[in-house]
Amino acid sequence: MNVVSNRWVYKIKCRSDGSIERYKARLVARGFTKQEGIDYSETFSPVIKQATVRLVFSVAVSCGWKIHQLDIHNAFLNDILDEKVYMKQPQGFVDSALPSHLCRLHKSLYGLKQAPRAWYTRLNDFLLSIGFRASKVDTSLFIFSVGLDICYLLVYVDDILLTGSNSLLLQRLIQLLSSEFKLHDLGSVHYFLGIEVQSTSMGLMLFQHKYILDILTRAGMLSCKPIDTPISTSKATILLDPLFSDATRFRQIVGALKYLTFTRPDICFTVNRVC
């Protein structure tokens, strides 16, 4: 039998403008101490594709639909575990009478290898049971159609986007979801996957202002002089800057830049070049 240890994780949650929203403490299982076959079997959990997000945004904007963003509280704590997982008692809450006892986990915890998959399966089963249909080409897209009305639901782990042709139907679906999960309706989408969304008279604007500032801060280039194009046309890019002597750091920044191409197709070539 394998025993999983645990740890408390403290985090400061920020809003899209960088101000502090709340302080958070969470008990996580140290899932890397688990063994495959004993503590978990399948771990893969699908996430939404970028093209799908953009396509659904585009359709919603064209039809003038409101895009709701829903946030599920403590999504991973909802799921019932199939496997038998034992964990040490949480730090600071050890029973003084029985210090050598273990906890048998009934429900999932953050940090467990199978937590994302268990959550996806649970949400998937629930959505199918209330009449949604999963898309065949993107398993994180769910469609609900009744008569001429249609609703789309996009799932990115515990972030959910819901849009559709009938606002009453949307309200009913949100009610159905909140009867099963503890969720928070954030209203119109404005901050999804680190992307800021602003609606204007011309449509929706997507930008990653905060994300760009984070990358610049991390790279120590906040005070650098801006230039007009991402790559020089004349000379080949020379990577001799001391920043790039550290391979790990270079890869971290390139990885961060790759996600930035979500709203910046113009730097796609340059990012691809430095990979």
Partner 1 sequence: MAYILLAVLLLPYMVLQIQIGQAVLRTENLRVVTLCFFGQTLISWKSGKQRTVARSSTEAEYQALADGTAEVIWLLHLLTDLQILSASAPIIWCDNLGATYSSANPVFHARTKHVEVDYHFVRDRVAKKEIQIRFISSQDQLADVFTKPLPTSSFTAFCFKLRVDPPPLA
Residues interacting with partner 1, by CB under 8 A?
50-52, 54-59, 61-62, 135-138, 141, 143, 145, 150, 152, 200, 202-207, 209, 212, 228-229, 231-233, 236, 263-266, 268-270, 272
**Residues forming a β-bridge with 269:** none
* Residue closer to partner 1 (CB basis): 80 or 275: 275
The token pair at 245 is 């002597």
CB of 208 to partner 1, least distance (A): 9
CB of 6 to partner 1, least distance (A): 41
- 239: Cβ–Cβ under 8 A, 6 or more apart, which residues? 274
CB of 22 to partner 1, least distance (A): 27
* Residue closer to partner 1 (CB basis): 1 or 227: 227
* Residue closer to partner 1 (CB basis): 175 or 272: 272
Distance between CA 269 and CA 275 in Å, rounded?
A: 10
CB of 195 to partner 1, least distance (A): 10
- 224: Cβ–Cβ under 8 A, 6 or more apart, which residues? 216
* Residue closer to partner 1 (CB basis): 109 or 161: 161
**Residues forming a β-bridge with 86:** 3, 104
* Residue closer to partner 1 (CB basis): 28 or 61: 61
CB of 235 to partner 1, least distance (A): 10
CB of 237 to partner 1, least distance (A): 9
Q: Are 194 and 210 in contact (CB under 8 A)?
A: yes
* Residue closer to partner 1 (CB basis): 224 or 236: 236
Q: How far is CA 19 from CA 3, 6, 82, in A?
A: 39, 30, 40
Q: How far is CA 31 from CA 38, 69, 73, 115, in A?
A: 12, 30, 21, 10
Q: Any long-range contacts for 216-223 (C-beta under 8 Å, 24+ apart)?
A: 218/252, 218/253, 218/256, 219/243, 219/253
Distance between CA 106 and CA 85 in Å, rounded?
A: 8
* Residue closer to partner 1 (CB basis): 98 or 148: 148
Q: SS3 string of 186-230?
A: EEECCEECCEEEEEECCEEEEECHHHHHHHHHHHCCCCCCCCCCC
CB of 234 to partner 1, least distance (A): 8
